C-alpha cells in the first residue's frame, strides 16, 4: 500500500483547470488576491502555462524522509505521480484530474486492474489535490468555490501583512478546512498560512511559504517550514525540483 504523505488539509480544489475571472470576493480581499497574482507573474501568464513538474516531500532535521514526483499537463488534464510506498515498492499513477475512473497504475512491476486500479486512481487524485495546493494555492485564491474574507492587518517580524481568510463552498475533498493566508503588504508575496482541518479544533497549524523560484516568468514556492517551538519544528515540506513544461514528450501519460 502507498503511504500518503499528508501534511495539510485536502481542500485543494478540483477546479484547478478553471480560470479565476468569475470569482466574487469582498473588495479588499479581492484587491489583495489580485495583487498576489500580479506579483506571481500574472493570471494570464499562469493560465497560458501548458504544464508543470514538481516534487512533493518532506525533510526532518535536514534528512529527506519521502518524496514523490508530479507531472501535470494542464491542456489535456492528465496527471502522473511517481514514488515509493513505505515498503519501498515503487508506484506510478496516471489519471485525468477530477476523474478518478480514467487512467492506469503500476505497483512494482505489476500493471494494476480492477479494484486495485480503482483504489490507486483515487489515491492519485488525493495526492494531486493535496500536493498541488501546497504548491499552487496563491494562484487559486479567486477560483470558483473559494470564499475570501479580509481578516485585517497584522505586524510580523518581517513587516505589515494582510490576512486573507479562505473557506470553501462545497468544493474540494475536505471543504470544511479553513485557512488564514498572510500576505506581505510590501511585496504582495504569501509568506505563511495557518489552517484548521475539517472536524478539528483550534489552535491552527502554521507553516511558512518560502524558497520562491521563478520559472517561465512565474514564481513558485519550494519550502514550507514549521515554526520554532511548534510540535513540527525541524520539519520542512518540500515543493521543489520545479520545471515549467511547454510540451510533454509523446507517451508521457501513455499506459505502460
| C-alpha dihedral sign at 220, 52, 47, 246 | positive
Residue 18 lies in a domain: no
Longest dimension (CA), the chain: 54
**How large a percentage of the chain has pLDDT more than 70?**
88
- Asked whether residue 121 is assigned to any structural domain, the reply reads yes
Q: Is residue 10 in a domain?
A: no
Q: How many helices (H) and strands (E) does the chain have?
A: 3, 15
Give the residue, 100 or 145, on which the prediction is more confident.
145
Reported as a pLDDT band with limits 50, 70 and 90, residue 169 is confident
Q: What is the pLDDT of residues 49-64, one digit of tens each?
A: 999 999 999 999 888 8
Residue-range definition of the domain harbouring residue 158:
27-242
Flag whether 189 is in a domain: yes
Cis peptide before 203 (omega within 30 of 0): yes
Distance CA 71, CA 58 (A): 18
| The C-alpha cell that represents 50 in the structure block | 501548458
With contact defined as beta carbons under 8 Å apart, do 224 and 208 qualify? yes
Average pLDDT over residues 27-33: 95
* DSSP calls for 116-159: HHHHHHHHHHHHHHHHHHHHHGGGGTTSTTEEEEEEEEEEETTE
Per the model's pLDDT, the better-predicted residue between 54 and 199 turns out to be 54
Query: Residue 20 has what pLDDT?
Result: 39
4 found inside a domain = no
| Residues pairing with 181 in the sheet | 164, 193
- Could you tell me if 57 and 5 are in contact, meaning their C-beta atoms sit under 8 angstroms apart? yes
**Pick the residue with more confidence: 105 or 86?**
105
pLDDT single digits (tens) 147-168: 999 999 999 999 999 999 999 8
Classify the C-alpha dihedral 172-129-184-155 as positive or negative.
Answer: positive
Categorize the per-residue pLDDT at 173 as very low, low, confident or very high, splitting at 50, 70 and 90. Answer: low
pTM score of the predicted model: 0.89
Q: How many domains does the chain have?
A: 1
Residue 11 lies inside a defined structural domain of this protein: no
- Average of pLDDT values for 182-205? 93
User: What pLDDT score does 174 carry?
Assistant: 67
Residue of 143, 106, 103, 141 whose CA lies nearest to 125:
103
Q: Output DSSP code: residue 226.
A: P
Q: What is the pLDDT of residues 63-75, one digit of tens each?
A: 888 799 999 999 9
CATH of the domain at 147: 2.50.20
Give the chain's mean pLDDT. 89
- Confidence band for 12, pLDDT divided at 50, 70 and 90: very low
> Is the pLDDT assigned to residue 6 strictly greater than 80?
no
Q: What is the mean pLDDT of residues 28-35?
A: 96
* pLDDT recorded at residue 236: 96
User: ∠ at Cα 242 (241, 243), nearest 5°?
Assistant: 120
**Residue 86 confidence (pLDDT):** 87
The confidence score (pLDDT) of residue 18 equals 39
- Do residues 55 and 43 make contact, with C-beta atoms less than 8 angstroms apart? no
Residue 173 within any structural domain of the chain: yes
* Residues paired with residue 244 on neighbouring β-strands, in sequence order: 52
What is the 8-class DSSP label of residue 210? B
247 — pLDDT class (breaks 50, 70, 90) = very high
Residue 249 domain flag: no
> What pLDDT, in 10s, does the model give residues 221-236?
999 999 999 999 999 9
DSSP assigned state of 196: E
Amino acid at each position: 500500500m502507498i503511504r500518503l504523505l499528508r501534511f495539510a488539509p485536502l481542500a485543494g480544489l478540483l477546479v484547478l483547470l478553471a480560470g479565476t475571472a468569475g470569482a466574487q470576493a469582498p473588495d479588499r480581499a479581492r484587491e489583495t488576491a489580485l495583487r498576489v497574482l500580479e506579483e506571481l507573474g500574472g493570471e494570464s501568464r499562469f493560465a497560458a502555462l501548458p504544464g508543470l513538474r514538481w516534487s512533493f516531500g518532506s525533510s526532518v532535521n535536514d534528512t529527506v524522509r519521502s518524496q514523490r514526483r508530479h507531472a501535470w499537463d494542464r491542456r489535456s488534464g492528465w496527471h502522473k505521480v511517481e514514488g515509493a510506498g513505505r515498503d519501498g515498492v515503487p508506484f506510478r499513477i496516471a489519471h485525468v484530474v477530477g476523474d478518478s475512473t480514467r487512467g492506469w497504475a503500476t505497483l512494482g512491476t505489476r500493471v494494476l486492474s480492477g479494484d486495485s486500479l480503482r483504489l490507486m486512481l483515487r489515491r492519485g487524485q488525493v495526492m494531486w489535490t493535496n500536493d498541488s495546493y501546497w504548491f499552487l494555492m496563491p494562484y487559486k485564491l479567486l477560483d470558483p468555490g473559494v470564499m475570501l474574507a479580509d481578516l485585517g492587518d497584522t505586524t510580523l517580524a518581517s513587516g505589515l501583512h494582510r490576512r486573507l481568510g479562505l473557506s470553501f463552498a462545497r468544493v474540494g475533498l475536505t471543504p470544511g478546512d479553513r485557512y488564514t493566508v498572510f500576505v506581505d503588504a510590501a511585496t504582495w508575496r504569501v509568506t505563511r498560512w495557518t489552517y484548521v482541518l475539517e472536524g478539528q479544533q483550534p489552535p491552527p497549524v502554521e507553516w511558512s511559504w518560502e524558497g520562491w523560484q521563478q520559472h517561465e516568468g512565474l514564481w513558485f514556492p519550494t519550502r514550507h517550514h514549521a515554526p520554532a517551538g511548534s510540535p513540527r519544528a525541524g520539519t520542512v515540506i518540500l515543493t521543489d525540483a520545479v520545471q515549467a513544461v511547454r510540451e510533454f514528450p509523446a507517451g508521457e501519460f501513455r499506459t505502460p
